[in-house]
Structure 1
């Protein structure tokens, strides 16, 4: 009995340090998601069709790059482990690119377009190295239901902190997000963010980057790249999870990338700080709703909990189609945090369960393969996101940004992009989850087998080291 409790104890110091890894990861992602579209569309005035085409090229590269890095990570054999080499190598380059994103050449439109494509590809290559390997450590650091529940609660708080930081901090450097006068201020914001990401990343590497030695032995028997992709995509549970994750990232990216335009032209807000407060309020409220979703997971399990979270998100997004003014905007964005909180909470839990069941079937832990393949589909959500924006902006006459050319059609288009499009995708995810096979009862039944397998691997490792 005592042994069980010891196994389930959550070590605070490495958990907090790992949380800083999550913080640096999400800070770099959401700073990019929040402002990259606004910068190149409203500050540099690139045509929406060019932006859409370049984002599609970028997403195709990412669709190849992400699963490739994940599978290579699973197969890496080094004295530092499977994940650490990629994390340590990528961090300084990621920080450098967070600054270079906002320094396009002052020349022709062609040179700006080429720079945009090259720099976003470079960004995502190093971000992927950091992101996939950092997130793949989650099931290793939190190996059972109890530690995952507690650990995920703490990690979600770091996520909320990163999101608030990503949305609020730029407003102290950039007074108006769509005003060309403040182009250089984007660089100042990038420098500040790069420093914060670097510090948080170093603390994570020093104190929170822990790999289980018994898991690292799986690199010797990990499948080859194309076999790994084939096995991963054969998993029914994983393919259903992909639909849920697709909906999460499509909706979150749509909200974060369009809030600067929605806030200014639909709600009538002209100060960047107030627009940032809208998004920040969503993620502050997200933190308050975390205990609710933790209890939901405990009572109902991940499948039913995720379905409730997705449904609540649709309902809570609906006011964005009708409201106007800062006050109603603030109330709506606060309530949106409830749906986002639940969907974000359950996406990590769902994937950890899938990895556990896969290990039970194959004998190998392949977190990197699953995380990498997941990223492949996230990039498809990016294609759909910018295709949706391109379709609507072309329809309402906003191919090139014109701050004086806002019409009722433009406002309707922004409202549709913030509610109608996400609601359809979230609804499809709910329908997909009906067929998700890993119920609360099944996971509890199989957990002892999973735990026994981990103990067996540990014994084999100890025996081989004697």
Structure 2
């Protein structure tokens, strides 16, 4: 009887939580300023993810600075440090008491160090491959890996606090999505043009030759500092109260996250989507070159098309979530992504199908679900965090961002085993393309299982 009464009480609290549909806590300017913080969050890591392996490792025209294997190991350690740092920063931020709040001190003091390490990774101490480069660049990259959650985790943790209203959270997240799309396009496309220009027109300052990579990093650092400090000046935390006096130790804090019923289906579908989308991103250059028969540069356009089409769908996703609910909209989007991801092998199974037309069409069709993730991920976890307050009596936004970061980084790491493994087993060339094409159905099956679980177990409809 007691357990049934507890379940009834929790169910009633869920219904009350979903009543906060309409309302306004932020002006449009405040929404825009807060959402702009997602641009440097995506830009800093996007610049490194896109260019660092190519910059460091040797090629036909460049001697490089570290071996390809060393570059891979260093970046694996960077993400490992990032994954471990996320829950630690989350726990630390939740327990912080200061006159500036619980989140803002991390952004204020962490941002200068984050951009310093962002710039330093492009300044190897010596020319050519050497242990000095391996050790020092490794230190810079691993340091960046830890400093990234020091800044970004508290930034993301502000969202559930600055507005409690469901539709307003969706609108803020939509604006954040535009920032991320812009950042990814800058990291992939604009940065490449900057690199080409300044590699051909290098400047020397204080004895350092500023090639395109260094200029790219310095500009990225300036953007990051400017945007985050503007955001900090305009966005304030709510006053400190007993709900912010989180008493849990680190292990208790993590356990309580996983005891929150909505968190498991939420993190399951988010981690599965990240794993599956990373699989498809990794095989895109191979798909373009071996299957479509286009250059690497043209293959890169596939990802730009995906991002641009996703941005076009942002308003529709926001509208659908407001009318139908976040759960229904997100579930349909994940089924959509699973279905079209499973179609990759058709390019070889249907005689006469033009691979170039098919390639551009399939990347166009998987874009709307990407829009759903960019728009709805933050509002979904905000609901989960609100419910945690019902269970524990405390506001623990940063711990949830940390736990999410830990699991999603693990999903990212697993994707680096699946895609290369399939290509090694079944081939990644024009003559043997099935290792490329099978990644689509494998991703679809994994995401489909997570989507069914999310639909069945996630409790919030709105």
**Common fold, TM-score beyond 0.5?**
yes
Question: What are the residue-to-residue correspondences of 1:332-347 with 2, within 5 Å?
Answer: 332-347=362-377
Matched residues in 2 for 1:151 and 1:16: separation?
A: 7
Displacement after TM superposition at 1:78 (Å): 0.7
Residue of structure 2 in register with 1:8 after alignment:
24
**Compared CA separation, residues 437 and 326, structure 1 to 2 (3 A):** closer
- Show CA shifts across 1:68-117 (max 9, x none): 00110000011111001111122222223333334445444655554554
Change (3 A) 1:307 1:36: farther
Residues 245/187 of structure 1: CA separation in 2 closer, same or farther (3 Å cut): same
Cα distance in 2 for residues equivalent to 1:156 and 1:356: 22
User: Please, which moves more after superposition, 334-343 or 245-254?
Assistant: 245-254
| Aligned residue number for residue 448 of structure 1 | none
1:107-149 CA-to-partner distances (Å, cap 9, x unmatched) read: 4465555455433321221111111111001111221113213
Matched, 1:191 2:218: yes
User: Is 1:75 aligned to residue 95 of structure 2?
Assistant: yes
Partners of 1:75 and 1:8 lie apart in 2 by 28
Cα 1:48–1:361 shift into 2, 3 Å: same
The corresponding residue for 1:408 is 431
1:227 aligns with 2:249: no
2:313 corresponds to: 289
2:176 maps to 1:155: yes
Q: 1:397 to 1:307 in 2, by over 3 A?
A: closer
Distance in 2 (alpha carbons) for counterparts of 1:11 and 1:122: 36
Residues 222, 366 of structure 1: 8 Å contact kept:
no
Maintained 8 Å contact 1:98/1:123? yes
Change (3 A) 1:392 1:60: same
In structure 2, how many angstroms separate the alpha carbons of the residues matched to 1:151 and 1:65? 26
Counterpart of 2:333 (choices 309, 325, 338) is: 309
Report the equivalent of 2:238.
212
Equivalences, count: 420
1:29-428 equivalences under 5 Å are 29-39=45-55, 43=59, 44=64, 53-104=73-124, 105-108=126-129, 113-115=134-136, 117-174=138-195, 185-207=212-234, 209-214=235-240, 217-270=242-295, 272=297, 274-318=298-342, 320-321=344-345, 328-392=358-422, 394-395=424-425, 408-409=431-432, 411-417=433-439, 419-428=440-449
The question of whether the paired residues in 2 share the 8 Å contact of 1:48 and 1:390 is answered with: no
Please identify which structure carries the higher helix content: 1
2:13 counterpart residue number: none
Is the alpha carbon distance of 1:51 and 1:118 closer, same or farther for their aligned partners in structure 2, counting shifts above 3 Å? same
Shift of residue 150, structure 1, vs aligned partner: 2.6
**Residue 435 of structure 1 aligns to a residue in which SS?**
helix
TM-score by length of 2: 0.80
Q: 1:335 to 1:368 in 2, by over 3 A?
A: same
C-alpha distance in 1, partners of 2:314/2:381?
18
Change (3 A) 1:77 1:188: same
> Which secondary structure does the structure 1 equivalent of 2:31 belong to?
helix
Seen in structure 2, the aligned counterparts of structure 1 residues 391 and 257 have a Cα distance that, compared at 3 Å, is closer
Aligned partners of 2:245 and 2:394 also within 8 Å: no
Q: Kindly indicate whether the alpha-carbon contact (under 8 Å) linking 2:290 and 2:430 is maintained by their aligned counterparts in 1.
A: no
- Return the alpha-carbon distance in structure 2 between the equivalents of residues 87 and 168 of structure 1: 28
Cα distance in 1 between the residues matched to 2:305 and 2:58: 24
Alpha-carbon deviations, 1:425-444, whole Å to 9, x = none?
3223213203324232xx6x
Cα distance in structure 2, aligned partners of 1:79 and 1:229? 26
| Counterparts of 1:21 and 1:33, CA distance in 2 | 19
Kept in 2, the 8 Å contact 1:10–1:150? The answer is no
Give the counterpart of 2:35 among 19, 28, 51: 19
- Specify every segment of 5 or more residues in structure 2 that has no aligned partner in the other structure, as ranges: 1-19, 198-209, 348-353
Match of 2:459 in 1: 438
Higher deviation after alignment, 348-357 or 95-104:
95-104
Judge conservation of contact 2:279–2:418 (CA < 8 Å) in 1. no
Q: Matched residues in 2 for 1:59 and 1:226: separation?
A: 21
Residue 286 (structure 1) shift: 1.0
- Normalised by the size of structure 1, how large is the TM-score? 0.79
Does the 8 Å CA contact 2:90/2:402 hold for their aligned counterparts? yes
Does the 8 Å CA contact 2:343/2:441 hold for their aligned counterparts?
Answer: no
Aligned to 1:401: none
| Kept after mapping to 1: 8 A contact 2:253/2:399 | yes
